[in-house]
Structure 1
Amino acid sequence: MATPDELFQRAVAAHQSGALDEAEQGYRQLLEAIPGHPACLTNLGSILAHRGETDEAERFYLESIASDPNQLNTLFNLGNLYRRTGRSARAVPLYEDALRLSPNAPLVLVNLGLAVSDGGDWPRAVECFARAVTVTPDVADGLNLLGDALARCGRRDEAIAAFREVVSRFSDSPRGYCNLGLHLAAAGQTDEAIETLERAVALRTDYPEAHNALGVAYEAAGRTDDAQVAYRMAVHLRPDFVDAWANLGTSLGDQGRTTEAVEALRRALELAPNPIAQSSLLSNLLFSSTLTPEQLRDEHVTWATAFADPLAPAERPRKRDPNAPGRVRVGYVFGEFRSRAAFAFLETLLTHHDRKQFHITAYPNSGRQGEDYDRLRRLADSWKPIAGLPDDRAANLIRSDEIDILVDLNGHAPGNRLLVFARGPAPTQIGLFSYPATTGMRALDFRVTDGQIDPPGAESLYTEKLLRLPDLSWLYVPPENAPAPNPLPASRRAFTFGCLNHPGKLSDACVGAWAEILKAVPKSRLVLLAGQSVSSSEEIAARFTQRGIVSDRLELVYRLSGSDYFEAYQPLDVTLDPFPYGGAVTTCDSLWMGVPVLTVAGHDARGRQGMSLLNALGLPEFIADTPEQLVTLAATWADQRDALADLRSSLRDMVAHSPLTDAATYVKHLEAAYRSA
């Protein structure tokens, strides 16, 4: 009859050869003879864990540890079981016990780093991965994990150095190149990021993460078509790649291909609920001419119900006594500025707020630096970046600052921190400036607006209460470097309409009406902004061709910046406001350049900005009630070139002396609204 040692050795041999059923039988037979045999319990646990029988595996591991608590492998294996089953917090003490037995066990150090990072303790993860790299410097995975943990701690330069070490020592490591490229792109080193990521996909063509990262880098370099090819390759290689679907959808939306964008974003959301991807979806749905305002509201409420409302605290901070001494503490939360005007708007607020009455804290969700941001920092009483802070920690920071009024400047736009607001860190929370719809959130108490953008009855379209300012709901800050308006171009050549708005705003209804305008005004031309994508611009041209407009009557210009953007208004006689989602800042830019804007009064805030601005200037004759009336108005104004020439010479002065640019009055009205809230 076999001895216990012989039974154990036979079972181990079967285990090592992959004969797991035979090994299990041997271990169980031995346990009948020696019930507390620790190694036997551990090995049997590993077989059961391999089969997915986690409860039984856990039981055997725990029995083994009870029999002998000083077993490195058992502690390690049970820790791994807990990590795999989402119980990382229970894995941590097991790995720590294993390290007391073997302080430099590299795999234990790595897995402890992974377990603490699962709980968000990235500084400790850095310590673990750094020790593992010191013990086994010849393993690329340790350096990759260290670089990622450093980046999560905001130590990007050190992270990049770690990834450079990976590709220097392991030149055939596609993962190292992918990680290095990702962080170079995040640091703004776009050209090197592209070169590095192209190396990653050359080393491994079936690497979806690298294709996705390469798409992001191409996007940053303005190579939108290349970016979309990279995203499509990523989802081809991994059809369930949520981030790549979301990136593809966002990119398509930025180039005006709204239908495709919505399809890609909905695909991402089918795969996994994601508040950022669904915010991007909502931003694209704003462009739709088929959704009713009520349907648009409901889409936003769906987002909030899924992601925001469940985060509401049991109790919000109490509102201060309005008669209490001290300044009202206002906090502004904002992301990356995607336009000059958005930056200038906040700068004007910080400049004109009455600091005897208001204390201003800025919470930028941006890691950007430079003179512009330094100027904002100097204007704020307190500057506390929240980029990289998880939503709960950002909310706790704001709550500890005892902010009275927390103001969101983003809505669902990219870079938003709405899930910070969802946690209710301030007693009063307000949406301001840019987003022309409800956020859908119960936690956002008010929306700043005016009586024309949101007339009586509009309340039903919002979860927020409406704070209507007396004049306009926002302020236009004219550019300092815009050229002076030139004489009316139509006096010398064919009449030219234009629109330099986001191409996503070119809804089918809008394109149809504008095609009719070109037919109603013989030989007229239309200049449109087409983003950065050649394929998207070709699609825009095809939509007009399908409506009988030959290509030589259409001019498509690619995304413009700085002085080039304002110069692009010089050849235009009249600009057309898209619908149902019209312009706001773009409308003001056109007016500042002496080019009047024809708009259709919309049914919700998306399409009523132009009407509000034109009425503030005393120009209601440029407002149409319907798309059909817009065609008639456009043809009428094309025949009134003397009147347009006179208006062109005086529009800038009209804007400069109107509520559109009266910063002091606007801020007084806003502060009064804050007090009433």
Structure 2
Amino acid sequence: MHGLGVVAYQTGQYAVALAYFTRACSLRPMSGAFHSNFGLASQALGQVDQAVTAFRRATELLPDAAEAHFNLGNALKEQRSVADARTSYLRALELDPNHTRAHNNLGNLFRDQGELDAAERSLRRAVELEPAYPDSLANLGNVLWDRGQLDEAERYCRDAIRAKPDYAAAWTNLGNVLRSQKRWAESESAYRRALELQPELAEIHGNLGAVLLDQGRLDEAIGFFRRAVELRPERSEAHSVLGNALLTGGQIEEGDACYRRAVELQPESSRALSAALHWRQYRPDVTLASLAADHAEWDARYGRPARTARPQTVHPSAANGRPLRVGFVSADFGRHPVGYFCVRALEALDPREVEVVCYSTSRRNDDLTARFKRAAARWYDAGPMSDDALAGQIAADGIDILFDLAGHTAANRLSVFARKPAPVQITWIGSEGTTGLSAMDFILADERLIPTGVDAHYREKVLRLPDVYVCYEPPAGAPAVGPLPVRSRGGVTFGSFNNPAKIHAGVVAVWASILRRVADSRLVLKYRCLGDHGTRDRYLKMFAEHGVGADRLEFEDWSPHAEMLARYNTIDIALDPFPFVGGATTCEALWMGVPVITRPGETFAGRHSLSYLTAIGATETVARGLDDYVELAVGWAEDLDRLASVRADLRPRIEASPLCDGRQFAAQLTSALRDVANL
């Protein structure tokens, strides 16, 4: 019976094998080998609980058999009994220190738990024991990718492929590493090879879509994302990724529907709802009241339940006599809008008053990252840490005040803040308004961003700085401001370099009205994916419905930062979208001498430009409503002398304003922090 079961198992006839093994175990119930094979057949059929029971019996009968403990570890891991799985793998290695697969699987388990040092040790040992074992090579490449050691990660992925050329997972891993290096074409090629090997694997379709999106090939990307949804319609993440792509192309209704479906499929996932909340900021019908209600749902589902596990904290009033210990949690300590808006502030904080601790949750590492590291008294590469581990570290560090720099954006760690690891918690910059968290004490703003009278729509108490809520780092190496373009081009050029997710049908209608009013004018739209034919055609159709032809419009894709800034030397007037206005985009236009016409909205995301323009004393381009927005744009287009004068004046005005004054901002921030510490 047992021999027949082995033959059936080896030929993939798992149900037949299980029947034979069942009979064999009944005949010889004290055979550990029989129980072990019964467990293998059960596991192959997806009967994991039954497999665990069988493997436990096998280890009782064969306590010194490393393979029995290894098999039990695999089943326990599949059962998500992580601690028990670890114990079983470690026992297998005690019995056989050279068990390559046990080192490999233990390394993967460590990686899943964010223990990258232990994972790397286990996987390097597996590679030492069996240098051509493709699984260990590929898995070590994954861990090195997690750690940002991309060159070495690439080498191990390629070694895995050399050991097993048809190894789809290794090709996928290689694509991930190459994508992280921004080697788009090579990454695409690796993913396409993986797809040839496993054409029905949804994950590969999603990865290929992602690298096409990186290259601005939006319609192609959407096709692969749709296929991923077809293959795994029950997978929440597939719907989220498709939603993101649709919204990136300005297809708001369908994109929002995808996110709603993602939340339905994975109601236990805080990230699915966070993503949906983030994208709701872009809807033209968004209101402060609706956002408050939507964000309260996140707290009810995920925030309040996590508070029961929060570490004990001490109120920062206990910090009298020493600097306030202030922590910042972000994935964007670098060349990113969040980085541009806070690096000067952190650098200018007096270490005698404020001790800065940074918890970086990404692999980001550039010249601006280096400045953050120098500004910090302590720096943690916290990306691999679980929410519990990161919350525990923050509590152990004795952080007095903890800043969230993400809100509900993709890389947020709001589940850490929900655990309340610090006595005072503040959301700032990366957030687009309320987080909804009862554990978040304050939101940092100014009077323009959150005017007096709307505080009730924010779960947090509003902490207003007197001048402006951010401190801007102008782009290093930006080209000089050129002469007014209209004087050499013969017609006014309007421009918007904003995310097309912000450019809905209502925005197009208003911009088309401006173009019809200003003879010989044109509009340049520039952002990632706007060079994509499908995206361009959708916008051409929308403008055509309002009487504006393709000859009045230019669409451009992403370009390197310096090139993008130089493009402003061909733009006379920038048009801000609504209700989600520009952030860093507005500041960059102003820095390049281009006035920005803006209509402040009701929401936090609709008032950034007002805050910046007020700080630099340039509110003459702030509209009172949409009719006024059109009139302002037309009026500025007709006054070339004023345009030329403002163009020459904007950069020095910004440089001398509170928007860029790091010392003044740091002093105001320190005063505000001292106030909340003593409440």
Shorter chain as denominator, the TM-score bin is 0.7 to 0.9
Worse-matched range after superposition: 280-289 or 304-313: 304-313
Q: Cα gap change, 1:203/1:23 in structure 2, threshold over 3 Å: closer, same or farther?
A: closer
Shift of 1:459: 1.2
Distance in 2 between residues matched to 1:57 and 1:211, nearest whole Å = 32
Of 432, 437, 454, 1:436 maps to 432
Counterpart selection for 1:367 from 363, 369, 378: 363
Q: Which residue of 2 aligns with 1:470?
A: 466
The match for 1:406 is 402
8 A contact 1:599–1:630 mirrored in 2 = yes
Equivalent-residue separation in structure 2 for 1:269 and 1:630 (angstroms): 37
Shift of 1:462: 1.3
CA distance 1:59–1:224, change in 2 (3 Å): closer
Q: Which amino acid aligns with 2:502?
A: K
Equivalent of 1:307, from 287, 293, 302? Answer: 302
Match in the other structure for 2:554: 555
Is residue 423 of structure 1 aligned with residue 419 of structure 2? Answer: yes
Q: Tell me the amino acid that sits aligned with residue 209 of structure 1.
A: E
**Distance change >3 Å, CA 300–CA 537, structure 1 → 2:** farther
Partner of 1:666: 665
1:459 matched to 2:450? The reply is: no
CA distance in 1, matches of 2:349, 2:107: 47
Q: Give distance in 2, aligned partners of 1:567 and 1:151.
A: 34
Contact 1:496 1:571 in 2 (8 A): yes
Confirm or deny: 8 A CA contact 1:15 1:23 kept in the other structure: no
Residue number among 148, 162, 171 corresponding to 2:165 in the alignment:
171
Partner of 1:540: 539
Cα pair distance change 1:44/1:645, threshold 3 Å = closer
Q: CA deviation at 1:314?
A: 4.1
**In structure 1, what is the Cα distance between the partners aligned to 2:155 and 2:272?**
31
Q: Which residue of 2 aligns with 1:376?
A: 372
Displacement of 1:399 after TM fit? 2.4
Q: Is the 8 A contact 2:4 2:17 kept in 1?
A: no
**2:182 is the counterpart of 1:185:** no
Equivalence for 1:527: 524
Give the match for residue 384 of structure 2. 388
Unmatched tracts of structure 2, length 5 or more: none
Given that 2:472 and 2:659 are in contact with CA atoms closer than 8 Å, whether structure 1 keeps it comes out as yes
Pairwise CA distance, 1:95? 4.5
**Do the aligned partners of residues 222 and 495 (structure 1) sit closer, same or farther apart at CA in structure 2, a change above 3 Å counting?**
closer
| 1:450 positional shift | 1.1
Match in the other structure for 1:345: 341
Q: Structure 2 matches for 1:147-296, cutoff 5 A? A: 147-152=141-146, 157-273=151-267, 274-296=269-291
Letter in 2 for 1:287: Y
* Range with bigger deviation, 432-441 or 314-323: 314-323
Q: Higher mean Cα deviation, 486-495 or 462-471? A: 486-495
State the 1:454 CA deviation.
0.9
Q: Deviations over 1:264-308 (max 9, x none)?
A: 333433333444444333332211112222112222232333334
Quote the residue 2:353 is aligned against. Answer: 357
- Residues 18 and 42, structure 2, Cα contact 8 Å, conserved in 1: no
Please say which of residues 199-208 and 597-606 is displaced more in the overlay: 199-208
**TM superposition shift of 1:670:** 1.6
* 8 Å CA contact 2:289, 2:457 repeated in 1: yes
Say whether the 8 Å CA contact 1:255–1:531 is kept in structure 2.
Answer: no
Alignment deviations for residues 328-351 of structure 1 (CA, whole Å, 9 cap, x no partner): 122223323685654343331133
Q: CA deviation at 1:616?
A: 4.2
Q: How far apart are the structure 1 equivalents of 2:588 and 2:113?
A: 48
Residue identity in the other structure for 1:571 = T
Structure 1 CA distance, aligned partners of 2:256 and 2:523? 27
* Structure 1 alignment gaps of length 5 or more: 1-6
Structure 2 SS opposite 1:569? helix
Residue number among 508, 513, 520 corresponding to 2:510 in the alignment: 513
Structure 1 residues 159 and 638, CA, compared in 2 at 3 Å: closer, same or farther? closer
State the distance in 2 between where 1:601 and 1:10 align: 76
Q: Which residue of 2 aligns with 1:83?
A: 77
Amino acid at match of 1:295: S
The structure-2 alpha-carbon separation of the partners of 1:560 and 1:143, relative to structure 1 and needing over 3 Å to count, comes to: closer
Shift in CA distance, 68/523, structure 1 to aligned 2, threshold 3 Å: closer
Whether contact under 8 Å (1:488, 1:573) holds in the other structure is: yes
Summarize the Cα distance change of 1:646–1:64 in structure 2 as closer, same or farther, 3 Å threshold: closer
* TM-score, scaled to structure 1: 0.86
Let me know the Cα RMSD of the aligned residues. 3.6
What letter matches 1:409 in structure 2? L
Distance 2:6 2:377 in 1: 69
Q: Which residue of 2 aligns with 1:4?
A: none
Aligned mates of 2:39, 2:656 — CA distance in 1: 80
Letter paired with 1:378: R
- Superposed, 1:50-129 pairs within 5 Å as 66=60, 69-70=63-64, 75=69, 77-99=71-93, 104-105=98-99, 110-113=104-107, 121=115, 123-126=117-120, 128-129=122-123
Q: CA deviation at 1:404?
A: 1.7
Q: Cα gap change, 1:339/1:267 in structure 2, threshold over 3 Å: closer, same or farther? A: farther
Alpha-carbon distance between aligned partners in 2 of 1:14 and 1:448, rounded to the nearest angstrom: 66
| Cα displacement (A) at 1:530 | 4.1
Go from structure 1 to structure 2 and tell me whether the alpha carbon gap of 1:49 and 1:456 turns closer, same or farther (over 3 Å shift): same
Find the aligned partners of 2:111 and 2:474 in 1 and give their Cα distance.
47
SS in 1 for 2:403: strand
Corresponding position: 1:590 with 2:585: no
Contact 2:133 2:160 in 1 (8 A): no
1:293–1:604 contact (8 Å) kept in structure 2: yes
- My pick for the range that moved more, 462-471 or 559-568, is 559-568
What amino acid does structure 2 have at the position aligned with 1:304?
D
- Deviation string 1:381-437 (CA, Å, 9 cap, x unpaired) is 333332333333233332222222222223233433333323322222212234331
Q: Secondary structure at the match of 2:658?
A: coil
Query: Residues 89 and 115 of structure 1 are in contact (CA less than 8 Å); yes or no, is this contact kept in structure 2?
Result: no
Scaled by the length of structure 2, what TM-score is found?
0.86
Residues 1:319 and 2:318 aligned together: no
CA contact (8 A) 2:528 2:558 kept: yes
Range 247-256 or range 152-161, more displaced: 152-161
1:381, 1:440 → 2: CA distance?
A: 30
Opposite residue 625 of structure 2, the aligned amino acid is: T
Per the TM alignment, residue 508 of structure 1 is displaced from its structure 2 partner at its CA by: 2.4
Task: Tell me whether 433-442 or 369-378 shows the greater mean CA deviation.
Answer: 369-378
Query: Which residue is equivalent to 1:141?
Result: 135
Q: How far does the alpha carbon of each residue in 1:40-59 deviate from its partner, in whole angstroms, 9 at most, with x for none?
A: 66666777777777767666
Counterpart CA distance in 1 for 2:629 and 2:339 is 33
Deviations 1:569-627 (A, max 9, x none): 33333322211111233333333333332222311222223333444455544332221
User: Do the aligned partners of 2:66 and 2:92 also contact (CA within 8 Å) in 1?
Assistant: yes
Counterpart-to-counterpart distance in 1, 2:196 and 2:87: 42
Question: 1:484 & 1:64 partners in 2: Cα distance?
Answer: 76
CA displacement 1:158-185 (0-9 Å, x = unmatched): 4433322111122232222222222232
SS of the aligned residue for 1:288 comes to coil
- 8 A contact 1:505–1:581 mirrored in 2: yes
The whole-number CA distance in structure 2 between the counterparts of 1:15 and 1:659 is 73
Output the amino acid matched with 1:486. Answer: P
1:600 aligns with 2:596: no
Deviates more, 1:361-370 or 1:149-158: 149-158
Quickly say closer, same or farther: Cα 1:397–1:647, change in 2 above 3 A. Answer: same
What is the alpha-carbon distance in structure 2 between the residues aligned to residue 415 and residue 22 of structure 1? 50
| Greater alpha carbon shift after TM alignment, 13-22 vs 132-141 | 13-22
